[in-house]
Copies of this chain bind each other. A is one copy, B any other.
């Protein structure tokens, strides 16, 4: 139950894009410098974000990245999904023939229920937290999260 490097640094890069002011897109060099990453690594992460349709890229001179949607419409949850995939795969308990009612493992797979719930819980919490919210300070983020524990919509969109 750890956050992967791709998630952490990918999220940081995404925040750099979101934070960038001005009509011109932000370049990889600038993002990499701001986060202390190599330009190549930043590029790799940005590519992930682009494939996840969280950012768009402009090529050529004066090119760079910009958000695909406004910051307050991009949820932290969607970024995590793009950067690291889902917490629990559909194939977690592989069904052999297609007619297996319980998990192949002996403990009747109460673990699957646990994992599913953890995933749903996390999704509910992070779906309503947007990039715009993360601009605030550390304390403000915690306050924000605690104010809307679950299933509440506070003006953000999140997933399309």
Contacts and interface: CB of A to CB of B under 8 A. Distances in A.
Contacts of A11: 111
Interface stretch (A44-52, A60-68, A112-120, A152-160): A112-120
How many identical chains are in the complex?
2
A100 interface: no
B138 A1 contact: no
A136 interface: yes
A contact patch SS: helix
Counting contact residues on chain A (CB < 8 A from B), the size range is 35 or more
A114 B141 CA distance: 7
A7 B1 contact: yes
Given A105-B36, A112-B138, A4 B3 contact: no
Contact of A2 (B36, B87, B116): B87
Given A12-B111, A35-B105, A110-B137, 12 more contacts: A1-B3, A2-B84, A2-B87, A34-B106, A36-B104, A76-B114, A111-B134, A114-B141, A117-B145, A118-B126, A121-B121, A121-B145
